[in-house]
C-alpha cells in the first residue's frame, strides 16, 4: 500500500519507518527542506533504539522516501497520515491548538 506521512518528527518518522518495514511504500513529507535533505542523506535525527537499522533497511530498497513537495506527497498516498505537532494547553478547560493540522489540510 502507498502511504503518505505528513510530518517527520518523532511520531511521523517512527511511524513511517515502521509502516515501510511492514512492506508499504511510504513517502514522508515535511516543510523543513533541511530536515528532508538530512533524511535523504541517510541520517536519522532522533534517537529511538533500533530505529537507525530499520530506517536504513527501508530506505535502501526505496520503501521509505522523503520529500518537501506537498503535491507529490498527496498524489502518492492512498492513506494520508497527519503526524504534526499539536499544542495541548494545560489550562482548564483543556484545549488543543490544531492550527498546524488545519494548515496541512488547507495546503493539500
**50-61 confidence digits (pLDDT tens):** 999 999 999 999
Q: If 0-12 CB within 10 Å is exposed, 13-18 middle and 19+ buried, where does residue 96 land?
A: exposed
> Which domains are present in the chain?
2-107 (3.40.50.720)
What value does the mean pLDDT take over residues 80-88?
79
Rounded Cα gap, residues 60 and 57, in angstroms: 6
pLDDT attached to residue 87: 60
Task: Count Cα neighbours of 3 within 13 Å in the Cβ-side half-sphere.
Answer: 22
List of residues 6+ apart from 53 with CB closer than 8 A: none
Question: Considering the entire predicted model, what is its pTM?
Answer: 0.83
Percent of the chain with pLDDT over 70: 79
Amino acid at each position: 500500500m502507498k502511504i503518505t506521512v505528513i510530518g517527520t518528527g518523532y511520531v511521523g518518522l517512527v511511524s513511517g519507518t515502521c509502516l515501510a518495514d511492514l512492506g508499504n511504500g511510504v513517502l514522508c513529507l515535511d516543510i523543513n527542506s533541511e530536515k528532508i535533505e538530512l533524511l535523504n542523506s541517510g541520517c536519522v535525527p532522533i534517537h529511538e533504539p533500533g530505529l537507525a537499522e530499520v530506517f536504513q533497511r527501508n530506505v535502501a530498497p526505496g520503501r521509505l522516501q522523503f520529500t518537501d513537495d506537498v503535491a507529490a506527497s498527496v498524489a502518492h498516498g492512498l492513506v494520508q497520515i497527519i503526524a504534526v505537532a499539536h499544542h495541548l494547553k494545560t489550562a482548564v478547560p483543556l484545549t488543543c491548538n490544531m492550527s498546524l493540522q488545519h494548515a496541512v489540510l488547507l495546503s493539500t
